[in-house]
Structure 1
Amino acid sequence: MSNDAKPLPFHFQFAAGAVAGISEILVMYPLDVVKTRMQLQVKGPNGEEAYKNMFDCMSKIVKQEGFSRLYRGISAPILMEAPKRATKFAANDEWGKFYRNLFGVEKMNQPLAILTGATAGATESFVVVPFELVKIRLQDKSSKYKGMIDVFQAIVRQEGLLALYNGLEATLWRHISWNAGYFGIIFSVRDMLPKPENNSAKIRNDLISGAIGGTVGTMLNTPFDVVKSRIQNTTRVAGVIPKYNWTIPSVALVYKEEGFGALYKGFFPKVLRLGPGGGILLVVFTACMDFFRTLQK
């Protein structure tokens, strides 16, 4: 991930991304549950909502459903995180090489960092959709599923095998916008920070740039994430057009019915996860890559 670091073979990038992703999810997952709950809730006839804010949501989940509910559905993300994060970082590096060769640019620059991140996000989307779908169905408060396998079987039985890719278009919007912001900002912030003179300074720079990148990416993609959650939580019935179907019309519908603020439901738990989480990702990934480079010497 360093701008001028020696490239490593794909399997090293994959392994580093997998370790980074699993490390991040084990620390930050409860915030993802809270985020999904807040994104799925719609105001009642009198304007009431089950959860007033992030802290109210987390406390009610623990009080009413038990602490373990904050880790409900974690098996799907754990299985997803290795290929997801590995694909994210590996695709970013591989697409970066491709674009540098295509445009005849020796070193990465800001426009290429944004283009590379967006393309990596699109690549990553095809890996994560089935896992995200299962996770959303499990995280819903009204979920009656016994576990990941039960969700998978129910979707295939009731909606068909291709239904596992419901929400692909919304996921593309979400991941392209997040990755473009994340990798683009990382490149820019690293250039602005003092050049690290030791390993602790390098870790500090990675934490700062990763956290800022994660925050900016979250600001860009939260509206797409809100509608993605609603699209994927809808059970498809033959002959019935779901309320939330395509991304841009769904964004417009949420805005029309619930106001602009509804497009940022779950923003705070999401940004708290993906801001610091982005820093954790970058630090662990970079540390793993540096370790693998020592093995190559």
Structure 2
Amino acid sequence: MSSAAISSKPKPKPLPFVYTFSFGAFAGCTELMLLFPLDTVKTRMQLNTGKSQFGMIGMLKDIVAKEGVGRLYRGILAPFAMEAPKRATKFAANAFWGDVFTKKSTIPMTQSISILTGCAAGATESFLVTPFELVKIRLQDKASTFTGPLDVIKKTLARSGPLGLYVGMEATFWRHVSWNGGYFGSIFQIRSLLPKAESKSGELFNNFLSGSVGGAIGTVLNTPFDVVKSRIQLHGTGEWAFPALVRVVKEEGVGALYKGFTPKVLRLAPGGGVLLLVVEALTTITRNHLGPPYV
């Protein structure tokens, strides 16, 4: 078959929204169950405003020794309730904005458009996740006295009203814009650099590798915003993200903006690979099942 014939082959029809939403939800819950303890360690390291006493392994051991293994999963109900709509929104919004920016594929996807699409998806996602993130952070804090997610919500509403659940919204916005832009933009570039897969296992490997690298790059970009978001949400200060970044640098040094980076990247790099792997695998299976015009 000539290259002209290949290039003229029509692009498969996008899957209905319900499939995109469901695949993102399933992928997110899978990643969360596997890697949540790393998130707890990351949060504890970020909330420490003094000189860190522990590295990642030391913090993990300290939590288990003093508080028990179960403490590593404290606060998981909030992100678990959030994970399905969050990850579903991530991939569904990325697909939606991709259609918008490429005018439903009449404009070729480029890395610039891929980054823009990811940023828009992250912005969309941030509005959904802020209250869940606030509940999670307040439960993960070492000094937390809340009995559970509903207790956090009840006391936050009593003290600050409904808007109290959206403390840290702006920092969350920048955290998700930067991660998604780095993640989806990197995936586009890495896929173009990898040799074309000659088998199904090769395709799965390429998806996992590109997703993992994308997750690592997204984590490098968004960790400073994640640090200030965690602190703003814990203390309910309502501080803006960029002044908070400047304050942290002045008081603790530039390195403080990357507190918790190791457990965070160890979660989100392979986690990004798991997300893409699961979504792409489910998408391929569903397209083959539905047949034309989806394949």
Q: Is the TM value for this pair above 0.5?
A: yes
1:250 to 244, 255, 258: 244
Instruction: Give structure 1 stretches of 5+ with no counterpart.
Output: 236-241
Aligned partner (choices 22, 26, 33) of residue 19 of structure 1:
26
Match of 1:157 in 2: 158
Residues 109-136 of structure 1: CA distance to partner in whole angstroms, max 9, x if unpaired? 1110000000000000011001000000
Displacement of 1:5 in angstroms is: 5.5
Q: Which residue of 1 aligns with 2:3?
A: none
TM superposition shift of 1:158: 1.2
* Residue-by-residue CA offset, 1:213-256 (whole Å, 9 max, x unaligned): 00000000100000000000014xxxxxx3x6000000000000
* Local SS of the residue matching 1:207: helix
Which residue of the partner structure matches residue 60 of structure 2? 58
Distance 2:235 2:105 in 1: 43
Matches within 5 A, 1:1-297: 6-43=13-50, 48-49=51-52, 51-101=53-103, 104-105=106-107, 107-235=108-236, 242=237, 245-297=239-291
Report deviation, 1:104.
4.7
5+ residue gaps, structure 2: 1-10
| Structure 2: distance between partners of 1:103 and 1:249 | 40
Moved over 4 A (4+): none
Q: How far apart are the structure 2 equivalents of 1:295 and 1:131?
A: 35
- Distance (Å, rounded) in 1 between the aligned partners of 2:285 and 2:47: 41
Give, in whole Å, the separation in 2 of the partners of 1:87 and 1:217: 17
8 Å contact from structure 2 (residues 248, 256) kept in 1: yes
**1:270 is aligned with what amino acid?**
K
Q: Identity over aligned residues, as a percent?
A: 55
Contact 2:99–2:105 at 8 Å: present in 1 too? no
Q: Which amino acid aligns with 1:256?
A: K
Summarize the Cα distance change of 1:145–1:211 in structure 2 as closer, same or farther, 3 Å threshold. same
In the alignment, the residues of structure 2 paired with residue 155 and residue 34 of structure 1 have an alpha-carbon distance, to the nearest angstrom, of 24
Residue 239 of structure 1 corresponds to which residue in structure 2?
none
Distance 1:26 1:158 in 2: 32
Partner-residue secondary structure (3-state), 1:101: coil
The DSSP-based 3-state class of the residue aligned with 2:109 is coil
Shift of 1:292: 1.9
**Shift in Å, 1:150:** 0.8
| RMSD, matched Cα | 1.3
Distance 1:130 1:223, change over 3 A: same
Please state how far the C-alpha of 1:295 moved relative to its aligned partner. 3.0
